[in-house]
Structure 1
Amino acid sequence: MICILTQHFNLNRILLLSIGLWPENSKFRRVQTTLCFSILTSFVIFQFTALITTKCTADFIIKIFSSATFFSFYIIKYNMFWINTHHIRNLLEQLQYLCNELKDENEFAIIKKYGNNSKHCTVVLTLFTICCTFFLILLPIWPQILSTVVHINESRIQRQAIQITTEYFFDQEKYFYLILLHTSAVICIGATTLAATGTMLLGCIIHACGLFRITSYRMEQIMTTKVFQNINLKNRTTICNKIFYAVEIHRKTMKFTNFLLTNFQGSFLFIIAITVTSLSLNIFAVYRSASLGNNEAILLHLIIIIIILLYMFIANYAGQEITNYSNHVYFTAYNIQWYMAPLHAQKMILFILQRNSQVFNLNVAGLFVSSLECFAMLTKASMSYFTVLYSMQQ
């Protein structure tokens, strides 16, 4: 028996608990989610309020939107899990139910292997998130660190320190460290949200790949049996049962994957739109910062670009893997010696052959198919928007 919650999703659970997104009902969780969401939302609002008090040039508007769209990405991700808490619980329950239906040690070994892959991905992405968070928090205060070695005017330090433009409607020099605390809290909560929600969805997709692999394994086992040497009533029943188990886990795995996609479909569309927009704006912001010689701003926007590209690549690569594993089930069913099975068993194999004659993939609202091709398309679209901004600036 495998307990996926404690064996495969323990780190994901800790990350989600830290920001109040783990599916449980408690007063503390409600307070925690409200507080975290308010901190994230207020920071984006205070960025847009700068448009009210400052002269809106093209460069200033792009500077505001390049950072505001990225932090809006945090809000969408947080809200996506907050309003779908019960769906997350149902998703984990479905996955546990599928794991409980495994038949032999080889199938347990397969799901454990993919569970370990899920844990390793979570650890690596969490460490990457910690490094980026540390760097983003350190970036605003590095002038203060250098000022202990090289004498720099305090007001100049504060002007250089925070590259994210905000307007709080009070003296920002006087409350500089309070603003810095708010910025650091947003970065920590947002980064944890991105890591926690992303690795949870990625872990579910990796497990779905494992279940497709088990489907292929069951199809292979059907034709390796020696019962074809002596077809009798008992052997016919054995063959039909094995085909039934293969078809059943294949059907339930597709249902599990569709359940994952359907309940987050609207949020995925918002995420695609916001990431493409933010990517193009931040590429342009890097170009403008390089023209002005603002090295701190260049570093900030480069980190944002790397995070967005990495997120887009992992999401689309996971979708590509789902397609590849689903296709492998079809090839396995097609290549086995199905013609040696009894006639009624051959008809049962047709369930898988007919279903997989159409490619199974992660299709978001019929507009985007998660794949490496989609990643290239979205990146190309971002570069096209950057080219438009560049030509307008010229």
Structure 2
Amino acid sequence: MICVETQHFNLTRIILLAIGLWPNEKSKFRKFQAILCFGVLISFVIFQLTALTIAKCTADYIKIFSSATFFSIAIFSYNMFWINGHHLKNILQQLQYFYNELKDENEVAIFKKYGHYFRQCTIIFILLGICWMFIITLLPIWPQIFGSVFYINESQLQSQTIQIMTEYFIDQEKYFYLILLHTNAAFCIGVTTWLGMGTMIIGWFIHICGMLTITSYRVEQIMTTKMSKNINLKNQIMIYNKKIFYAVEIHYKIMKFCKNTSSNIKYSHFLLLICTVSSFSLNLFGIFRNASLGDNEAILFHLLCSFALFLYLFVANYIGQEIINHNNHVYFTAYNSQWYNASLHAQKMILFILLRSSKACNLNVGIFVGSLECFASLIKTSVSYFTVMYSTEE
């Protein structure tokens, strides 16, 4: 007996607790923590947008919006989890219910295997997030380190280190380190929000893939189980019908769970995708524009942002493709089974699985359906917007 929340989602729980978003923690401290983190993100985007008042050219506007849209993704993600906290709690309870309903040792092993896959994915994304934050937070300090060696002027250093245009309506040279602290805090909270949101959603759908695999296993076991000669035909039919009923039941519950999970995040995730595509195009433009100017720090900054956005789009669509593939496997398993050897009643129940698995079981986000084809379309759209901006600049 395992607890899905504490064993499979333990690392995600720690991440979300750090920013006050874990749905099972509703203390006053957690609420204060959530308000503080959300306030840091909101205020940082506001101070970026106020820089529009001092922007002098189109390139400055693009630079401002490239970073503002990037942080807006974290704001949408934070807001989505904050508002839908009760839905997140229900989803975790539903996964625990699925596990408690498993009786076969092989089915329990399949569930644990997919839970192990999820933990491995979480560890990989945490390491990537730590490396990303380490590079970003040290990026403004590198010129300071080299400046102490080569005796570069302090004002020259500060002009080199600010990669994000902001306007605080104060003396930015005097309060440079406070502004840097605000920037790094926003980066850390934003990346932590991305990690928490991403790993939680990945965990849901990896477990859905595991349950679909269990459905395929149950369908395979229906017709491959050999009956004893001592069992009469009536009892044999009852055993077949019982096994088929369990397969039909779990597949129905999974389809309903996947639909409800997608509907809870559909509109919020749709806004995230729009913001991600826009930010990806703007950061691609930032890479090529700063490459022509020879600004290596700015190139690295936009390159890291573009990599994070590309990875987000790929992982979100890849997990959607995996759900489609697992659902198709249920269909082919039922279709290729020896259904013709079963009773007429059993054949009708197998037909339920064929009909349901022939329907879409996917990650539906507004007009987008998570798949590798959708990923290619989004990247193509982002590159098209970048091409238009770059040609206009030229």
**Considering the TM-score relative to the shorter chain, is it more than 0.5?**
yes
Letter in 2 for 1:232: L
Which residue in the other structure is 2:164 paired with? 164
Task: Please say which of residues 227-236 and 258-267 is displaced more in the overlay.
Answer: 227-236
TM-score (norm. length: structure 2) = 0.98
Task: Please say which of residues 330-339 and 255-264 is displaced more in the overlay.
Answer: 255-264
Distance 1:200 1:25 in 2: 18
Q: Offset at 1:228?
A: 8.6
Q: Offset at 1:359?
A: 3.3
1:195 equivalenced with 2:200 (yes/no): no
1:292 equivalenced with 2:307 (yes/no): no
Distance 1:358 1:252 in 2: 14
Segments ≥4 residues shifted beyond 3 Å = 228-231
Distance 1:265 1:391 in 2: 34
Which residue in the other structure is 1:329 paired with? 330
Task: Please say which of residues 227-236 and 107-116 is displaced more in the overlay.
Answer: 227-236
Which residue in the other structure is 2:217 paired with? 217
Unaligned residue ranges in structure 2 (runs of 5+):
none
| Map 1:47-126 → 2, pairs under 5 A | 47-52=48-53, 54-126=54-126
Distance 1:252 1:56 in 2: 57
Distance 1:55 1:253 in 2: 52
8 Å CA contact 1:228–1:341 kept in 2: the answer is no
Which residue in the other structure is 1:278 paired with? 279
Letter in 2 for 1:364: V
8 Å CA contact 1:80–1:267 kept in 2: the answer is yes
Distance 1:341 1:48 in 2: 67
Which residue in the other structure is 2:140 paired with? 140
1:381 equivalenced with 2:381 (yes/no): yes
Q: Offset at 1:255?
A: 1.3
Distance 2:393 2:138 in 1: 32
Letter in 2 for 1:346: Q
Distance 1:75 1:199 in 2: 17
Which residue in the other structure is 2:364 paired with? 363
Letter in 1 for 2:213: R
8 Å CA contact 2:69–2:278 kept in 1: the answer is yes
Q: Offset at 1:59?
A: 0.5
Task: Please say which of residues 83-92 and 226-235 is displaced more in the overlay.
Answer: 226-235
8 Å CA contact 2:55–2:61 kept in 1: the answer is no
Cα deviations by residue, 1:33-74 (Å, 9 ceiling, x for unpaired): 10000000000000010111x144110100100111001111
Residues 66, 101 of structure 1: alpha-carbon distance in 2 compared, 3 angstrom cutoff: same
Distance 2:94 2:211 in 1: 12
Distance 1:358 1:31 in 2: 44
Which residue in the other structure is 1:18 paired with? 18
1:314 equivalenced with 2:310 (yes/no): no
Q: Offset at 1:267?
A: 0.8
Distance 1:387 1:359 in 2: 34
Residues 90, 288 of structure 1: alpha-carbon distance in 2 compared, 3 angstrom cutoff: same
Distance 1:40 1:357 in 2: 43
Task: Please say which of residues 107-116 and 228-237 is displaced more in the overlay.
Answer: 228-237
Which residue in the other structure is 1:343 paired with? 344
Which residue in the other structure is 2:255 paired with? 254
Cα deviations by residue, 1:75-107 (Å, 9 ceiling, x for unpaired): 011111010000000000011001111121100
Q: Offset at 1:275?
A: 0.6
8 Å CA contact 1:77–1:193 kept in 2: the answer is yes
Letter in 2 for 1:51: L
Letter in 1 for 2:62: I
Q: Offset at 1:231?
A: 5.3
Letter in 2 for 1:280: S
Q: What SS class does the counterpart of residue 2 from structure 2 fall into?
A: coil
Q: What SS class does the counterpart of residue 172 from structure 1 fall into?
A: coil
Letter in 1 for 2:274: A
Letter in 2 for 1:19: I
Cα deviations by residue, 1:289-317 (Å, 9 ceiling, x for unpaired): 11111111000000000000001000000
Q: What SS class does the counterpart of residue 227 from structure 1 fall into?
A: coil
8 Å CA contact 1:327–1:359 kept in 2: the answer is no
Q: What SS class does the counterpart of residue 169 from structure 2 fall into?
A: coil
8 Å CA contact 1:48–1:64 kept in 2: the answer is yes
Distance 2:362 2:18 in 1: 32
TM-score (norm. length: structure 1) = 0.98
8 Å CA contact 1:362–1:369 kept in 2: the answer is yes
Which residue in the other structure is 1:151 paired with? 151
Task: Please say which of residues 319-328 and 97-106 is displaced more in the overlay.
Answer: 97-106
Distance 2:145 2:84 in 1: 43
Cα deviations by residue, 1:351-387 (Å, 9 ceiling, x for unpaired): 011112233222222x111000100000000010011
Q: What SS class does the counterpart of residue 172 from structure 2 fall into?
A: coil
Q: Offset at 1:227?
A: 2.6
* Count of residue correspondences: 392
8 Å CA contact 1:215–1:249 kept in 2: the answer is yes
Distance 2:162 2:134 in 1: 15
